Amino acid sequence: SPRGGASRRDLLKLVAGGAAAAAIGAPAAKAADFGDAMFVLPADFQEKKLPPPKNPYETLEPFGESFRGKKGINLQLPAELSEDDEAPRSMSALKAKQQEETERQIDYFENLSGVGIVGSLLWSAALYYGIWFDINKDTNAVVIAKGDPGDVRPSDWLKLRLGAALGMDQSSWEDDWKPPASLQGFVTAAFILLGTASNRVLEVSLGESFALMGGMTAGIWAGVYELGRTQQKGYRLTREEQEQEDGLVVDFEDFARQRIVVKPTARVHIREFTKAFRAQYGKYRTTDQVSDAQLQNLFKSYARRATGMRGKAGFYKGIGVTAVGSAWGGESGTATREREARELRSAERQE
C-alpha cells in the first residue's frame, strides 16, 4: 500500500526473481516451458553429466586427433580408418615408380633394352679390338694410320697367353695361325661379357644415353687403331702370305749385296731401283706378285739405315744401283746407257 507497505512494483520484482531462480534450479528437461530462447544441452551431455562445452561449435563432430596427426574441428576419422591404420605413403606414385625402376636397373644382365644391347655390342667390340693411346706424332695411328709395331689387339694378346698357358704353340695352330674354335669362342664370350658389364655399369651410374654414346666413341677409336695396325708389316698375315713376305726379304737382301752401293757420289731414283729389282728377279716382274709400294718400302728402310737420310721427290743421294744383266738375258736400261756412254767416249778419243 502507499502508506508503508510493499508497493506493487516491489511485488512484481519479487515474483520475477523467484521464478528465475526456480527455472535455473529446475531440471533441464523442464526448461523448454520457458520458451525456445533458452539454451538446451544435448542429450549426451545430460546423460553423462558432462560440463557444458566452451565452444558450441565443437558439438557438431567429435573433437580429437585425425589420421594425419592434426587437431581441430571437423577432422573426424572416416569409418574405414582407425587410429591403428598405417600413415599414408610420404612419396607420390611417380616417385615410387622411379624408385622401383632404379632398383630394377641394378640387375646388370636382365631386362636388356634395345639401346642397351647396341651399347653392349659396341663396348664389346671396342674392348675386343682395343685402343692404345700413342701421343707420339711420329707413330700416332690417328695421324699417319700406322700403329706401333708392338701394338696388337687385346683379344689376340689374350689368345696367345691362354694358348701358351694351355700348352698350345701358335706354330701348331692350323688354318693360318688361327686359334682353335674352343679358344676363339672362349675369348669372344669373355669380351662380350666384359662389354655388357661395362655398358650396364655406365647405364646405372650415368644413364642409358651416356653409355650408348660412350660405346660409339670407343668403337670409332678402336676402328681407327685397327686401321693403323693393318699398315704394319706382317700384321695378321696368312701362312702363304708370310712365306711370300719372307722370300721377298731374302731376295731383297741378296739384291742389296750384289747391286746396291753406298758412296758419296752415288745417286738413284727409287723407280730405277724398282725396275732393276724386277728385271733381276723374274718372279716379281708384275705387281701381281709384289706391289711397287712393298719394294719401295724395303728400299727406303735400307737407305735410311745405310745413309741416315731420307729421299727427296724420290731421289736418294749417297746410294746407288749398279748395272747388271736382266732376268731375261739382256742388258738392263742402266747397263745399256753406261755401255753407250763408254762407246761414245771411246769414239771421241779416237777422232
10 Å CB burial of residue 122 (0-12, 13-18, 19+) is buried
Q: What's residue 47's pLDDT?
A: 57
Residue with C-alpha cell 691362354?
162
Confidence tier at 303 by pLDDT (50, 70, 90) = confident
Closest alpha carbon to 202 in 269, 255, 126: 126
Q: What's residue 318's pLDDT?
A: 83
Return the domain boundaries, the chain.
8-72, 112-236, 240-350
Residue pair 290/248 in contact (Cβ under 8 Å)? The answer is: yes
Closest alpha carbon to 222 in 137, 117, 151, 116: 151
Using one digit for the tens of pLDDT, what is the confidence trace for 158-192?
887 887 787 776 666 666 667 777 888 888 999 99
Residue 108 identity: Y
Q: What's residue 12's pLDDT?
A: 56
Q: What's residue 207's pLDDT?
A: 81
Contacts of 260 (CB under 8 A, 6+ apart): 273, 302, 306, 319, 320, 321, 322
Q: What's residue 137's pLDDT?
A: 45
* Phi, psi of 230, deg, nearest 5: -65, -20
Residue pair 123/195 in contact (Cβ under 8 Å)? The answer is: yes
> In the structure grid, which three cell numbers stand for residue 180, read together?
682353335
Q: What pTM does this model have?
A: 0.41
In terms of residues, how long is the chain?
351
Q: CA-CA distance, 117 to 110, in Å (whole number)?
A: 11
Q: What are the C-alpha distances in Å from 293 to residues 290, 296, 333?
A: 8, 5, 21
Confidence tier at 1 by pLDDT (50, 70, 90) = very low
